[in-house]
Structure 1
């Protein structure tokens, strides 16, 4: 029997969002629960399975659901476990897919959030019809999903594709949440942009900027974007610096997998040309000659509020 629906679940550090999705990528019904209020994973799964049962009952029946796809921090596709996720309250290794499947009686597949975004782009978004591409998620950190020959690259242990943790600055690099220094995400994430702003304000005391009217420790990437949109030179310079580092990284990523496209997803992608122009220029000037003018830089075509759920749901079509 052809089952027409899947469920997508995006497990975030603060909220968990779920949706029932049809084959065209339409979210028919959605709901959310707070992730962070549950100290015990079993209490969280009780609330989650209750919500799943409610939205299924409002839309269809369980025998019409092909599977559940879950995108989660440090989600391991091979084991179905969330492993040592720094921004979740449940520590260690959580056999998430098995536990949820036991509670709701629907097959569950799990991967990490950036891989879910890549699957979503391939199934419903900017990468439809592509077999080789990279999705870069620019949010609080920098995540990536790498697709080669139509297959997500998982590596031997399920954790391949941590491109946010390639080291961009070997000397005096910024300290990263992973414990190392100089990682791409310390420069090219939303938090990285805010760090750059604080550095510029300190190192360039003579340069005027409306960012000086904001307490330095509260500056966000949105503040920098808003200032840049009014023509603030320092803010525009911060985006040029960020785009330059991203472009350098992309030139290296291309050498690894020769993608047809690199797709930018997440809050920072909203900066549009402010970030895309320096990324494009720097990437092209650093590419090997054989790759020049071959790689498209695209923005995600998934609506941001739906993207994580759609990405996770795409995994639901593949469950056995």
Structure 2
């Protein structure tokens, strides 16, 4: 789809450095896409993961740190979005270390943050002006996995809504489990329901997920440590693994997966490989929701931590190359072609693209 996009990039940077970047993906002469920087904002440390409100007025970021205002834990920040800048509204401490993902719940007025190092989930109230209110709940996970180096304890990496949006699935890489919490809107709490937890094979390290666009009971989970995508059926109180497919070619080694996203029409699923430095593409069967591998393309940069699909364009955030590279995405067959275009960006680790209104 040939339209213009606003793209936000989060990165690792000190508070006094520009850590959040805003770009416009526009069509030049002949309809060729071009990425131009609109602003670079400082003010918070290590804004590695971002989220934008549904109306495009507010941007939220984690502060992926071990301490916040002299206390253990990282932070979250709220910004008001302007056409060419951001205004910092406020920050709050998560009481969990190294927050790496956050999810605004505008319907109920909450914000959820996944704290990777401590293995916990923070729940905040959201104020009417877009700022972040008080911490109203904190859920601490426990346990460990068989990988002694990476799974010595719980490591929550992602939170996302259940199919009915009445609960949260919280992905814990450290304990090979996705834990389920019902959202108690009245009391501002997360209520666990262990019967709905999803348990993964030991050492696979689930990281992020997306739900099927039509069959919302189907979940696609990328596993960081085993470099796979799992297709999970999670309905009727029973969770079943329907399929697991590798993101790598045979005999590839020294890789960890990172991001997983569906194309705009939900016909293709993509996952990024760090180490192999590529993006794998799978076709989603319209009837069953199962996956079929269609291709794999190098990202022309080291450690593709995240990527975003903007219609017929894919942007890859290459953390260890300090670049964002651009590729053409064929929306008919899922093929990715290198456009030999890149821009410099220090340690980009998150990309969010939104079609211009």
Mark yes or no: TM-score above 0.5: no
Would you tell me which structure has more strand in proportion to its own residues? 2
The alignment's TM-score, normalised by the length of structure 2, stands at 0.33
The alignment's TM-score, normalised by the length of structure 1, stands at 0.35
Would you tell me which structure has more helix in proportion to its own residues? 1
